[in-house]
């Protein structure tokens, strides 16, 4: 249970810090909120469960909240991403189910160029992930837990223009994990040994962009449909992979996303 407690503490600390920061600085800011749902292909490899490559389809829900004070260059960003996929091996004889939840929290510094049409943002994010992969055909060790905490340099570019008299924009966003901690069994180690017998064997592993070369990108098109509402459609690509403890894994997801963006101002209230 030692490993579970360490990972749980890391995830709880990241989420609590983000929530406290958001609550203490929320009032008086302009808030942009986006809710999106997407569908698309998924490819999975996890050599702890199987040497086979699996492919199929999945769905992703993405909620993004960005808050910025008028006239300030710094903004706070939070993203909640939930994913579920069902995949099969090449012979269609094995099935794996994959699910995950990611919480992202970060800060951006922005520059306004070309008369305000181009907005560049650069900063960093913390990413806390909780998930699983379940192989329906395995008798022993049928599931693999997915737990990690990463620090991620991040950048975005937004270009605004008009289409048929309406405000529109194209936005590209990229995150690349730099370093973090990841939970992983060692080669040949069972979950019974980890959690029941308490046999720790380098199960909390420091990772970098070399041992876990991942990245995540978004390309979105916005079209204004009201005074405070915008239609958003685009692509979300999330490429997670790792080579630790003599085990290789990757989860590649490609999603066509559709959602609504709402913008409003949070006002200080003093009775």
In angstroms, the CA 137 to CA 236 distance is 30
- Per-residue pLDDT at 140 exceeds 70: yes
Q: Is the pLDDT reported for residue 240 higher than 70?
A: yes
- Spatial CA neighbour of 46 closest among 177, 121, 122, 142: 142
Residue 210 to residues 79, 180, 235, Cα–Cα distance (Å): 25, 12, 26
> pTM score > 0.75 for this model?
yes
Mean pLDDT in residue range 200-228:
92
Buried b (16+ CB within 10 A) or exposed e, 212-229: bbbebebebebebeeeee
pLDDT tens digits, 3-17:
444 444 444 444 444
Say if CB 32 and CB 65 are below 8 A apart: yes
pLDDT of residue 1: 44
Of residues 173 and 198, more confidently modeled: 173
Measured distance between the N- and C-terminal CA atoms of the chain, rounded to whole angstroms: 49
Give me 212's structure tokens. Answer: 């876990």
Residues 204 and 183 sit within 8 Å (Cβ to Cβ):
yes
Instruction: Give the closest residue to 122 by CA, choosing from 174, 68, 80, 63.
Output: 174
Q: How confident is the model at residue 23 (pLDDT cuts 50, 70, 90)?
A: very low
Mean pLDDT computed over 60-78: 93
Say yes or no to pLDDT of 62 above 70. yes
Average pLDDT, the chain: 88
When pLDDT is averaged across residues 223-233 and rounded to a whole number, the result is: 91
Per the DSSP assignment, residues forming a β-bridge with 57 are 41, 86
Q: Is 241 exposed, middle or buried (0-12, 13-18, 19+ CB in 10 A)?
A: middle
């Amino acid at each position: 249970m030692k490993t579970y407690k360490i990972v749980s503490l890391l995830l709880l600390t990241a989420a609590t810090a983000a929530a406290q920061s958001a609550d203490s600085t929320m009032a008086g800011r302009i808030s942009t909120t986006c809710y999106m749902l997407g569908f698309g292909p998924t490819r999975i490899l996890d050599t702890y469960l199987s040497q086979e490559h699996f492919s199929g389809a999945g769905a992703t829900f993405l909620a993004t909240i960005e808050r910025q004070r008028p006239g300030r260059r710094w903004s706070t960003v939070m993203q909640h991403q939930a994913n579920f996929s069902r995949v099969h091996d090449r012979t269609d004889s094995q099935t794996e189910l994959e699910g995950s939840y990611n919480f992202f929290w970060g800060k951006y510094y922005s520059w306004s160029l070309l008369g305000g049409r181009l907005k560049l943002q650069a900063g960093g994010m913390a990413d806390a992930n909780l998930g699983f992969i379940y192989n329906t055909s395995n008798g022993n060790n049928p599931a693999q837990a997915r737990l990690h905490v990463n620090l991620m340099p991040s950048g975005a570019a937004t270009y605004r223009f008009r289409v048929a008299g309406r405000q529109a924009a194209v936005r590209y966003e990229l995150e690349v994990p730099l370093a973090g901690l990841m939970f992983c069994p060692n080669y040949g180690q069972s979950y019974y040994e980890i959690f029941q017998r308490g046999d720790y064997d380098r199960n909390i592993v420091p990772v970098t962009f070399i041992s876990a070369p991942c990245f995540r990108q978004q390309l979105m098109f916005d079209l204004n449909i009201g005074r405070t509402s915008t239609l958003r459609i685009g692509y979300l690509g999330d490429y997670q992979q790792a080579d630790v403890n003599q085990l290789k894994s990757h989860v590649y997801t490609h999603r066509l996303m559709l959602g609504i963006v709402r913008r409003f101002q949070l006002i200080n209230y003093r009775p």
